[in-house]
Amino acid sequence: MKRLIISNILLAMLILVTRSDAQQIHSINQQIKLAENGSADVHLIVSFSGNDSLGSFQVPFGFNEVTGLEAYLDHPGQAVDVQLVMDRTSPVLKFHLNPGSEPHKLYVNSKVEHFLDWEAAGPEEFKTYSWKVEYTNTLPTRIDSCSLNVLLPSGWNYHRILSSEPEFKRKDPEPPFTLFLVNGRANVSISRKSMEYLDRITLEFAFKNEQKPTILITVGVLLIALYLYYFRNLILKKAKVETIISNNNNKENN
């Protein structure tokens, strides 16, 4: 029995080593474009190199159900056969290709119909919504670098990044995430180097509609007008006093 367990472990290790040797993922860049209806376009750019005998290639994927799944090798004209399969309990993208040992790029497009559950996300105080996005390396293959981009629907913006992995510690010179606009839409990008088996990249964020109450302008103008009227003595009083002094001086001079 003991020998059987040991031989099983060795076999499992051999499989893991063989699989991780067969493919090498240099980088994965995942972009999630959120739509107002809660769906999201998920795009992946995978930079990898395999070997001549590689018949299929797997990439960890974060979603169980997608529509419109399509993939290209290096450029849009070169379509690749891709399937969403379950590796144990985790979804992975399985590409059928034989690219040789040269480095290549895979472009994957898909759509997740129920990405964001608006009801579960909020609204919380001040009409903010919060959501968490994560990507886990569920395969033994090491990913040299990985980035995750989340693009909000037009008219929405990030209120705050609540948490992230890699974590942003208070004394870090820079956060692991950056915020920037992509065609006028709010985007957050997080990246990490060297993702081993079960390493994660996560972003938990609060977001809200960018529209701000324009009534503030009316309130502001009203406040300013009231202040300027009721506190006009601040500029008038002293002037009067100075006039009186000046008049007195004039009288003395006369």
Partner 1 sequence: MNAQEINFDTNLNVLPIRKATRGEDRMRYIGFPLGIVFFLILYLMPTPNGLTLEAQAAIASFALALTWWVTEPLPTYATSLFLMGLLTFFNGWPEHKVLGVFGLEVIWLNIMAFILSSTLVKSQLAKRFALWIGIRFGHSSLTILGAFIVLQLFLAPFIPATTARTVMVLPVMLVIGSIYGSTSGKGNNFGVNLFMQNLQGISIFSSGFLTGSTCNIVAAAFIFEMGNQKIYYSDWMIGMLPITLIVMSISWWLGPKYLFPIKQEDQQPKVKGGFKVMQKMLDDMGGFKLAEAKSASIFIFVLFLWATDRFHMGWFGFEISAVMAALIGVVIVFLPKIGFMKWNDADIPWHVMIFSAGAYSGGLALFDSGAARWLVGSVFDMVGLDSNLNFWLVYIIIISFAMYAHLFFTSKTMRSIVMIPIIIAVAQQFGFDPVSLALPAAFTLTWVITLPTNAKPNLILYSAGQFSISDNLKYGLTVSTIGVVVMIIAGFTWFRFLGITP
* Residues making contact with partner 1 (CB under 8 A): 125-126, 128, 157-161, 171, 173-175, 178-181, 186, 208, 210, 212, 214, 216-217, 220, 223-224, 227-228, 231-232, 234-235, 237-238, 242
CB of 32 to partner 1, least distance (A): 18
When the beta carbons of 114 and 132 are compared against partner 1, the nearer one is: 132
Backbone angles phi, psi at 173, to 5 degrees: -65, -35
**Which is nearer to partner 1, 104 or 159 (by Cβ)?**
159
User: Whole-number minimum distance, CB 242 to partner 1, in Å?
Assistant: 8
Report, in Å, the least distance between residue 155 CB and partner 1: 11
Nearer to partner 1, 10 or 223 (CB): 223
CB of 236 to partner 1, least distance (A): 10
CB of 34 to partner 1, least distance (A): 16
* Nearest to partner 1 of 77, 213 (CB atom): 213
CA distance 198 to 139: 7
Would you say 44 or 161 has its CB closer to partner 1? 161
User: Shortest gap between Cβ of 240 and partner 1 (angstroms)?
Assistant: 12
| Complex with partner 1: residue 31 or 58, whichever CB lies closer | 31
